[in-house]
Amino acid sequence: MLQLFQKKRMWRKSPLKRHYDVIIVGAGVHGLATAYYLGKLGITNVAVLDKGYIGGGASARSTAILRANYLTSQGIPFFRESLKLYGDLAQELDYNMLFTRSGRFDLGHTESAVFGLRMRSQFNQMHGVDSRLIGPDEIKKLIPVLDIRQGKHLPVMAALYHPPGGVIRHDAVVWGYARGADRMGTEIHPFTEVIGIKKNDNKIIGVETTHGFISAGSVVSATAGWSSTVAALADVNLPIVTHPLQAFVTEPLKPYIDATISSANLHVYAYQTDRGEVVIGGGVNHYPSYSQRSTLDMLETLSGHVLELLPALRDVNVMRQWAGLCDMTPDYAPIMGKVDGLDDFFISCGWGTWGFKAAPIAGKCMAEMIFTGRVPELIQPFSLSRFREGKLVNERASAPAGAIH
Amino acid sequence: MLPKQTPDRLPSHPTQEIDRSVSVTFNFNGRTVHAYSGDTLASALYSSGVRIYTRSFKYHRPRGLLCSAGRCPNCMMTVNGIPNVRTCSVLVEEGMVVKQQNAWPSTEHDLFSILDRMDRFLPVGFYYKIFHRPKQLWNIVGPIVRRMAGLGYVQTRVVEENNYSHETRHVDVLVVGGGASGMSAALSASRRGKQVMLVDDQQLLGGRLRFDGNLYDGIPGVTSDVGYEIADNLSKLVTRNRNIEVMLGTTAFGLYEGNLIGLIQGRSKVKLRSGKVILATGIYEQPSIFDRNDLPGVMLSTAIQRLIHLKGIIPGRSAVVSTCDDQGYRSALDMLKAGIRIVAIIDSRERFPNELLAARELQENGVLVLMSHMLIRAEGTKHVVGAAASRLSDGHATTEEREFDCDLIAMSGGFQPADSLLRQAGCELSYNKSIDRMVASPMPDKLYAVGRVIGNDNLGKSIVHARSVGSGVAEVKSADNALSTPANFMHESQDLTEIKNCTAPSPIDLSQGAKQFVCFCEDVTARDIVRGIDEGFEDIETLKRYTTSTMGPCQGKMCHKHFANIRAKSLDNVDSAVYTTARPPVTPIPLGALAAQVHTPIKRTPLDRKHRELGAKMIELGPWYRPHTYTSSSNECLSVRNTVGIIDVSTLGKLEVVGQDAKTLLDKVYTGNFSTLKKGQIRYGILCSEDGTILDDGTVTRISEDRYFVTTTTGNIDVIEEWFKWWTVGTGLCAHITNVTSSYASINVAGPMARDTLRKLTKIDLSSDSFRYMWSRRGMVAGVQTLFLRIGFVGETGWELHFPAEYAEHMWESIMDAGKEYQITPFGVEAQRILRLEKKHLIVNQDTDAVSTPLSGDMAWAVKFDKDDFIGRSSLISARDSGYSEKLIGFNMKGSEVPEDGSPIVSENLPVGRVTSSRRSPITGQGFGLVWVPADMAEEGKVVHVRVGGENLPAELTFIPAYDPDGIKLRE
């Protein structure tokens, strides 16, 4: 309550030093979470660098849905732990992130979609995640404004209902972590772009930035949208293809829908924010690109599809559309950990459309790995080497709104 | 309570857009309001005495008309059930139902306005700092906050017909903005034979000149010298010109890649491609920043001019004018002429604008003008009753204050270019101090700008420039952007000194009160912005997100300039006045207008009528309707196994691949060998993507040396057609791919009596010696040319018949007749699934997923590593060598339960595998199917546990198909 009347800076401005124990590239939610948990382990001679502003890039463009109803035995426990951390994050960081557990509904309109949802519900339950398959009557009761499409093409046959899922104020999460890290001594340097990564044999020694060379004990790449280009600076080739992802919001409305809904068959998801805007998004663009310019086609397609589910929005105005970049991996799972044959270089990338949900646990695991030198069990399945070893993690079916490219 | 209608409008005048001979009535909060045709809802309400239009977003402060031009959020109401309608841009129609929103119990007396007095506890970002301790608190407060936020209610029942329309168009040149510059550009482009479209968001052409009575001398080629007459003359020329199509009440809401423009006109959306685009979007007047600058009665000076000139409304009795440029004087003179007493003009500039005609006229009329002064506050609670001004010293207000009584405050806080489209197109703007405005840098390709949006405020020069741009774009083939590069233009055609004294940055003094609103949409004050900066949100993008300035319904039209300036000033760096990213749409657009028609065409096979006649239960499978069952799946299965069954498989994807390189292409895309296929031979094939995962499967039949017939799974045909074409082009092969899915109907006849049935209809020798399994023939069946494939998805002797779709019903009837004596039975998809499951044939996307490979799917036999490179080869080699984690295998339940598709395989209470297909076996009566398990678990005879209804039940794994494991029946 006291901080309501304080005018304290969230983070300091400090001159860039010539050396840090750890340099984190990317001041988004992942980089800052990593910095925060490193600080908690006592590592504070850390700089978080970003080519833009704090929490820009993918963090700023995230649609901020949190959930753990994934598909695989690797993915579910990982996201479950993340959701758990999110649950206590406001208290941990003393910053209200407006996390509302309004529940998440993945709608199934075809037999094969329901098959996938049923599988997820069963896997979720066995991994201790609250999610269950419910029928059209219960769906209608929980979301009265939803058209369950009885007698229409693609009727809602069932939903995977995930009560602990919800929505968080994404910017606040970034700012909360940034402040938390800053208070422990970590430096955050926006508008400091990394343009080169220096190696000595097989060891990373520092980064070249737009403000000069900085040496470092370890370098972490926590970039999204450009993770393959940043990794390429260290001659690391990532199996990542970057696709734009688009979304839009309506003008503010009085409470209308109190749940996040997603339909893979209709390629759309939607929820209403605390401010009253309805956020609507879908799958990634089918073509790879680094363009963050929105398209009219996507606006039209998403509008059309959302009205199939929420017809009352027809006369509601769209206020703003935007595009972000998603680093898609072949198996729709992230890439985290060390890079074989390159010491002191850590990557946390390939966050596709599932990065924001994972930030707390990903940051925590990354910090632990840098601190101990060992890869935590929870993220072992996500190593870069899995692509060479053929041990893919198949999360494709749980991607939002069937974000299939 | 609504005051009585005050019919005191001004006498008729050419600028007025109302028709006094036609009166219109509508319902407002349950009462009838009279208006004239041509009134907007907002002007009619104003004329009838309404002053509070809505309540603000956060503090529920009373808000009245501000811009009167469809830009700000202040006049939003619910009209005919539609929330958030800007009433100042909707013309009245008989019988409209208008309700106010975001207030309880009424806009006049809103209980939530208590929030306004609690503002000390609600500073910017307050919600981030409280309500999170104790942990449960947010669960209680959150819903309350949500109820307070938001504006209008969504009418959850959709009553009206969907009357949105969509159109796609193309023109040579699009001009956005129908002011003098836009019209001039359109005219000269059209005179060079170009098809021009001219759009404007107002109901009439003319832009600001419509309400401009000033004299303009010596504009070449312009006959009149009064502002609104110039507009009228130009507008007549434009309307008469057959090469110009004018769309009024139309907003260009988005400028997308490749000059694709989104236009919205009421409920119609036009998607327009334009060769060239000329932006003549003009500028937005900005509010002044002073305490309580949001009170009803405080309006933009142009809003007052609009009311007076366009609607004949006298907006008040006595007015104070706050200005930082000449605009305030022009508006003041208009008010004076309309009979409004000008109490004072408060000008922040030092020198009286002697050269300005309006200023001199005001002076002659004895109007008090205070130079070097700024307005510091408005007085009043629900409406303006007075104003206070203070002398300026060094840009700050001094204690030398003067107070005035008035019921109207006109403010002109400078201008901001209507640059959203420019910025969407990637054009960067930088701050020009001499005109206190953002100006554009060189334009992107095929995009031009004229008029005030690029800082050209001089009407005459602007018209001349617009003409040259108009004719330039019509002539220049390649983009010669020099002709509208603002940098050049600024130097050559505009004398900056001329306007130097015309504009001074609008003064802002933060010490003058807590209610100095910058962002009217989101209730953000100047103090909020400074506080945000003090808290570390210095970058404009983080500051925007923290304060939510520019993020409301007006998307920064009313606040971007002051927001950026306050930030720059706080950081002591005026040059750092940068703007945030511009995002479409420029103006909020209804979802219904945007919505692409969702075309999910339902596909029916040529035999659809037959299935319905037979009483089949139809199901949707992808886009297709297919028979699920006719009687019961177990009956149908038994018939196929014992006598003969018939199934419509017309939904199979079918491609013809023809050309000298057809064989090379197939060898490339399939994992198997197809160049070695003999003429007439058939082979099963798997397609993989580069990562070795299964994309699709099907059969390939070699019709002749350079002609193949390929089938794909029902759902994948479009993807596979694209895939084939992609690789054909990508590898430079000579092959032609034709999708013949709907050209051919396909019927599968299978079962021990299939041969006897078909024999009656064809002369082709169907005996096993002559027509072997996995071979094809072409010939007549029931008088129809047919491609005969001997294959057996369901595990019986059978033929797949492909023939011209027109003969489908004839063929079906002929076969049914021929099979009558053997009790031929139609079978549906469900029976087919069971039968194929007994053969352990997988279905792509049901039994495989995004990481399944032919190796893990137990089909290594279909991968020929010894042939040349094929797609997925290297990935499959590495999978072969390093092993893979999961394997597909069959299972038989030990008990009587049948697990559902998707049930987990459990080991030590964790899921380790999953059932992908599961049915009750017609042979054993027990559950069986296919399952993915960890590779080391996939052993013949191994017992695993399947989770069914909360219990772990035993099942035995097997690689061996349940039915005819050696495939003897197939070959009989």
pLDDT tens for residues B649-671? 999 999 999 999 999 999 999 99
Report chain B's C-alpha Rg in angstroms: 38
Distances (CA, A) of A210 to A195, A228, B169, B196, B367: 7, 19, 46, 47, 58
Tokens of B951: 């219990």
- Residue B770, token pair as written in the block: 């002559």
Residue A52 corresponds to which amino acid? G
CATH of domain B837-869+883-971: 2.40.30.110
Contacts of B153 in chain A (CB under 8 A): 253-254, 256
- Residue B522 zone, left/alpha/beta (φ > 0; ψ -120 to 50; rest): alpha
Cβ atoms of B351 and B379 within 8 Å: the answer is no
pLDDT of A189 over the 80 cut: yes
CB contacts, 8 Å: A394 with chain B: 849-851
- At B576, the pLDDT band (50, 70, 90 cuts) reads low
B155 touches chain A (CB under 8 A): yes
Q: Are B605 and B652 in contact (CB under 8 A)?
A: no
What domains can you pick out in chain A, each with its CATH number? Answer: 16-63+170-239+331-402 (3.50.50.60), 101-164+242-328 (3.30.9.10)
Task: Confirm whether the ipTM is greater than 0.90.
Answer: yes
DSSP structure string for B825-885:
EE--HHHHHHHHHHTT---TTTT--TT--TTTTT-GGG--TTSS--TTHHHHHHHHHH--S
B131: phi > 0 → left, psi -120 to 50 → alpha, else beta; which? left
Q: List the CATH code of the domain at B653-740.
A: 3.30.70.1400
Please tell me the distance in Å from B890's CA to the nearest CA on chain A.
18
- Domain B165-284+417-500: state its class: alpha beta
Please give the mean pLDDT across all residues of chain B: 91
Picking from B135, B168, B267, B851 by the largest number of A CB atoms within 10 A of its own CB, the best residue to mutate is B851
For residue B822, what is the DSSP state? G
Query: What is the rounded average pLDDT of the residues B25-29?
Result: 96
By Cβ distance, the residue of B57, B151, B155 closest to A312 is B155
The CATH code for residues B287-413 is 3.50.50.60
CA distance A338 to A379: 11
Give the pLDDT mean for B259-274: 95
Is A9 in Cβ contact with B150 (below 8 Å)? no
Question: Which part of chain B is CATH 2.40.30.110?
Answer: 837-869+883-971
**Alpha-carbon span B410 to B331, nearest angstrom:** 8
State how far the alpha carbon of A264 is from the alpha carbons of A110, A123, A216, A247, A281, in Å: 10, 19, 44, 15, 12
Q: Are B621 and A284 in contact (CB under 8 A)?
A: no
Q: What is the mean pLDDT of residues B107-130?
A: 88
Nearest 5°: the CA angle B784, B785, B786 is 105
| Predicted local distance difference test score (pLDDT) of residue B2 | 40
CB of A372 within 8 Å of any CB in chain B?
no
Question: What's the pLDDT tens digit per position in B735-783?
Answer: 999 999 999 999 999 999 999 999 999 999 999 999 999 999 999 999 9
| Contact between A55 and B542 using a beta-carbon 8 Å cutoff | yes
CATH 3.30.70.1400 domain range(s) in chain B: 653-740
Choose among A54, A169, A313: nearest Cβ to B154: A313
**Residue A201 Cα, gap to closest chain B Cα (Å):** 28
* Beta-carbon count within 10 A of B395 CB: 13
* Cβ(B745)–Cβ(B811) below 8 Å: yes
Model confidence over B813-861: pLDDT tens digits? 999 999 999 999 999 999 999 999 999 999 998 899 888 999 999 999 9
Residues of CATH 3.30.1360.120 domain(s) within chain B? Answer: 615-651+744-826
**The residue type at B941:** G
- Asked if B271 and A1 come within 8 Å (Cβ–Cβ), the reply is no
Helix (H) or strand (E) holding A250: strand A241-250
Is there a contact between A315 and B883 if contact means CB atoms under 8 Å apart?
Answer: no
Chain CA centroid to CA B263, Å: 13
**CATH class given for the domain over B19-117:** alpha beta
Buried b (16+ CB within 10 A) or exposed e, B817-844: ebbeebebbbbbbbbbbbbbbbbbbbbb
Interface of B with A in 167-196 (CB under 8 A): none
Instruction: Convert the pLDDT of each residue in B211-225 to its tens digit.
Output: 998 888 888 888 888
Could you give the angle at which helices B829-838 and B633-642 cross, rounded to 10 degrees?
A: 60
Q: How confident is the model at residue B476 (pLDDT cuts 50, 70, 90)?
A: low
Please state which CATH number belongs to domain B505-599.
Answer: 1.10.10
Distance, in Å, from the CA atom of B381 to the CA atom of B119, rounded to the nearest integer, reads: 15
Which A residues 175-194 touch B at CB under 8 Å?
175, 190-191
pLDDT of residue A405: 34
Q: Which residue of A has its CA nearest to B425?
A: A293
Cβ contact A402:A264 at 8 Å = yes
Q: Start-end ranges of CATH 3.50.50.60 in chain B? A: 165-284+417-500, 287-413
Encode pLDDT of B342-383 as tens digits.
Answer: 999 999 999 999 988 899 999 999 999 999 999 999 999 999
Beta strands B298-300 and B408-412: pairing type?
parallel
**CB pair distance less than 8 Å for B845 and A112:** yes
Cβ neighbours of B542 in A, within 8 Å: 53-55, 171
**Alpha carbons B635 and B655: distance in angstroms, whole number:** 33
DSSP label at residue B67? -
Report the residue from A95, A122, A317 with minimal CB separation from B590: A317
Q: What is the CATH number of domain B615-651+744-826?
A: 3.30.1360.120
State the Cα angle at B37 between B27 and B33, rounded to 5°. 25
Here the tokens at position B753 are 């009596």
